[in-house]
Amino acid sequence: MNTLLAVIIGALTVYLAYTLYARRIDRHVIQSDPKRKTPAVLYMDGVDFMPTNRNILFGYHFKSIAAAGPIIGAIVAANLWGWFPAIVWLILGVSFLGWASDYSGIVISIRNEGNSLSAIAHRLVSPRTRTILFVFIFFYLLLVAGAFVGIMATVLESQPKTQLGVIVLTAMGLLLGQMLYRWRTGLVRATVLTVGLTLVAILGGGLTEDVFKAFSTGLNNLTGAPLVTYFDPTLANFKGAEAKIMPSLLFWALSISAFCYAGSVLPIWRMAQPVIYVGFWITALAMVLGLAGALVAPFAKPEVAQFVIPAFKGFNPQLGPAGIMPLWPMLFVTIACGAISGWHALFGAVGTARQIENEADMLPIGGGSMFAEFLLGLLALLAVSVGAKGAPVGAFATGLGGFISVWGIPLQYATSLAFAAFIVIVLVVTQLLFRVQRVTLSEWLGDVVPPCRNQHVASLICVALAILLMLTGTWVYLWQLFGGANQMMAALSLLLVTVWLASAGKNWMYAGLPAAFMWVTTCASILVTAYNLYTNVYQINMAAGRMIPVVGSGLMILVALLLVVAALYIGLDTWRAFQRYRHRPVQQPRPAAARA
């Protein structure tokens, strides 16, 4: 296997699945209607509801759903099971599950006045389902937000050359919003200016590396000791490695939180949308150069084109001293975003659906963005399959840098662009996590705790909880549940779409079958994760007398079991609702005499 064949397979997957399957569902099942007014048009408020150009919104939605998942998941899966199971799940997942979940999340919101999935569940299923879904979504977003803040703070602290690019990206996003929506500057001219300056800052970050490094060193010298030290089960094979939070790490965590707070409360056009749009072009540039480089590498640079890791490594690789990782169900939650992801449907319903200007845009934006993320996941798989070493982020940057260097770009700059693309991918999504979490908290507790209706109060609560998770190190344990929780969110969204299709008298099979598969698979995966936490963390550290990891892993085992219980309740409620709508008698028109 080489990169040329893999890229051809990926391109054929996108073309065939989109043209032969996705378009058919859009035309015959959903029956999108360009003449029907969307919530963005009906309820335009300039904050959340904002009719947006299709080209801008595609970049916005793609960058909103593409985070660390498609990169890290594909790399971890290839290292555990081999490249063949990974590429098979990427292809089958995006073709039959992923695009359907993303597209349907947008559709169901647009056809229900722009409401969130929780609000729709209240109307279609039951009040209990709405409450459980609120709790599930809020804490799911909290664990991801806390983890992403920790990851990004660590990357920015350890890679000073990336810091200038992040600062300029934020400034250029704000400038782009002003140019497009206040100065009415043309899209092409505004894009070239803001993306160009951001790219210059990313590539020139090495010139300011010493300045930022000195700043971080000065902060750390204020105390001379870590602010927080905690046990990290992801290090040293769970044998007791410690992670430390220094003042400089806290500084970057607070800076990221301030960035996310602004993205949460400012009007969508002012910051969130334009920052993400600029980030999209940085990511797209790296992806296009990387995929095109992988396509021609067998002829131009053969040493970066041949797969060197095994095609298949086994059905049940060992995880730590006593853990297990059976191919089913764990492969299907390890590779999440490149195949299917709950975050996509959740964000599509709350964010993108409220900016769709025309129903004809639902499939190109919702389905098209998912297929683009599949290509990102495939690119990450190729990067590690050709032998790039190190942790997932480093392996991705090294492998992608090798593909980009095919075009004559010096490897140093090619790798810098690849690494910057990863940072941009994660950073711009993090602000959206807080925006969606703020909306969820307001809808969940707004009636009981009125201050939560205020966007500033709700956003500050979300930011404070995320910082708390990072400072205590609890997010390290929560992160181990991310894969199962994320895919469970995908299953629940598809279940809700299935009920809605049945209630509307439409063919529900394209959503119902993937929903059943993902629901069973993710329940099983969460139970496996709980077992691994017990054997790899709880038992080992109980024997060693380390109580912090014992308490942390014990709480996560409890959370895992609660997630399964919540999934069982929601599954039961949606099944009952589905049966109710499916067997509902069709109302026949009365004869003319009777009507008279």
- Higher-scoring residue by pLDDT: 264, 586: 264
- Give the confidence band of 381 by pLDDT, cuts at 50, 70, 90: very high
**Which of 250-254, 353-357, 544-548, 562-566 shows the lowest per-residue confidence on average (mean pLDDT)?**
544-548
Task: Summarize the confidence of residues 171-187 as an average pLDDT.
Answer: 91
- Alpha helical stretches, state H, 82-162: 83-93, 99-110, 117-124, 127-158
Q: Could you tell me the residue range of the domain that residue 167 belongs to?
A: 3-582
Q: What is the pTM of this model?
A: 0.87
Residues 6 or more apart from 19 whose CB is under 8 A from it?
Answer: none
Give Dmax over CA atoms of the chain in angstroms.
Answer: 91
- Higher-scoring residue by pLDDT: 90, 180: 90
| Count: domains in the chain | 1
Residue 351 CA to residue 432 CA, distance in Å, equals 9
Residue 435 CA to residue 403 CA, distance in Å, equals 35
Q: Is residue 587 part of a domain?
A: no
Task: Summarize the confidence of residues 65-76 as an average pLDDT.
Answer: 85
Predicted pLDDT at 298: 92
> The tokens of 175 are what?
């400038």
CA dihedral angle for residue 371, residue 377, residue 380, residue 382, rounded to 10 degrees: -70
- Give the confidence band of 86 by pLDDT, cuts at 50, 70, 90: very high
Task: Summarize the confidence of residues 367-380 as an average pLDDT.
Answer: 95
Residues 6 or more apart from 402 whose CB is under 8 A from it?
Answer: 293, 297, 301, 304, 383, 386, 388, 411, 414
> The tokens of 564 are what?
């399964």
Over residues 467-493, the pLDDT tens digits come to 887 776 655 556 567 788 889 989 999
**Of the candidates 237, 255, 238, the residue with the CA atom closest to the CA atom of residue 247:** 255
Q: What are phi and psi of 411, to 5 degrees?
A: -55, -35
Residue 142 CA to residue 479 CA, distance in Å, equals 11
Task: Summarize the confidence of residues 577-582 as an average pLDDT.
Answer: 92
Neighbours of 535 (CB within 10 A): 17
pLDDT at 591 over 60: no
Over residues 222-254, the pLDDT tens digits come to 766 777 666 555 554 444 456 677 778 888 888
Residue 443 CA to residue 455 CA, distance in Å, equals 11
Q: How many helices (H) and strands (E) does the chain have?
A: 27, 4
Q: Is residue 589 part of a domain?
A: no
Predicted pLDDT at 329: 93
- Give the confidence band of 30 by pLDDT, cuts at 50, 70, 90: very high
What is the separation of C-alpha 44 from the centre of its chain, rounded to a whole number of angstroms?
Answer: 26
> The tokens of 330 are what?
């764990």
Task: Summarize the confidence of residues 382-391 as an average pLDDT.
Answer: 85
Over residues 416-429, the pLDDT tens digits come to 788 878 888 777 78
- Higher-scoring residue by pLDDT: 34, 156: 34
Task: Summarize the confidence of residues 288-312 as an average pLDDT.
Answer: 93
Predicted pLDDT at 147: 75
Residue 63 CA to residue 276 CA, distance in Å, equals 6
Predicted pLDDT at 165: 83
What single letter denotes the amino acid at residue 480? Q
Q: Is residue 592 part of a domain?
A: no
Q: Is residue 590 part of a domain?
A: no
> The tokens of 121 are what?
């569940």
Residues 6 or more apart from 103 whose CB is under 8 A from it?
Answer: 22, 25, 26, 362, 363, 366, 367, 370
Task: Summarize the confidence of residues 537-545 as an average pLDDT.
Answer: 80
Predicted pLDDT at 476: 58
Task: Give the H or E element holding residue 258.
Answer: helix 247-265
Paired strand residues for 33: none
**Of the candidates 464, 463, 572, 581, the residue with the CA atom closest to the CA atom of residue 132:** 572
pLDDT at 590 over 50: no
CA dihedral angle for residue 37, residue 39, residue 44, residue 45, rounded to 10 degrees: 170
Q: Is residue 573 part of a domain?
A: yes
Residues 6 or more apart from 317 whose CB is under 8 A from it?
Answer: 80, 81, 325
> The tokens of 376 are what?
């990102």
- Give the confidence band of 525 by pLDDT, cuts at 50, 70, 90: very high
Predicted pLDDT at 474: 57
3-state SS track over 162-195: HHHHHHHHHHHHHHHHHHHHCCCCCHHHHHHHHH
Predicted pLDDT at 393: 77
Q: Report the share of the chain in percent with pLDDT over 70.
A: 92
CA dihedral angle for residue 361, residue 364, residue 367, residue 369, rounded to 10 degrees: -110
**Of the candidates 161, 187, 242, 222, the residue with the CA atom closest to the CA atom of residue 416:** 161
pLDDT at 214 over 80: no
> The tokens of 182 are what?
């206040």
Predicted pLDDT at 238: 42
Give the N- to C-terminal CA distance of the chain in Å, as an integer: 73
Q: Is residue 469 part of a domain?
A: yes
Q: Is residue 203 part of a domain?
A: yes
DSSP state string for 293-310? HHHHHHHH-GGGTB--S-
On whether the CB atoms of residues 307 and 87 are closer than 8 A, the answer is: no
Neighbours of 43 (CB within 10 A): 14
Predicted pLDDT at 587: 47
DSSP three-state, residue 142: helix
pLDDT at 322 over 80: no
Residue 115 CA to residue 289 CA, distance in Å, equals 38
Task: Summarize the confidence of residues 55-83 as an average pLDDT.
Answer: 88
What single letter denotes the amino acid at residue 250? L
> The tokens of 46 are what?
């300039």
Provide the mean pLDDT of the chain. Answer: 86
Predicted pLDDT at 475: 59
Q: Is residue 382 part of a domain?
A: yes
On whether the CB atoms of residues 314 and 81 are closer than 8 A, the answer is: yes
Q: Is the peptide bond before 329 cis (omega within 30 degrees of 0)?
A: yes
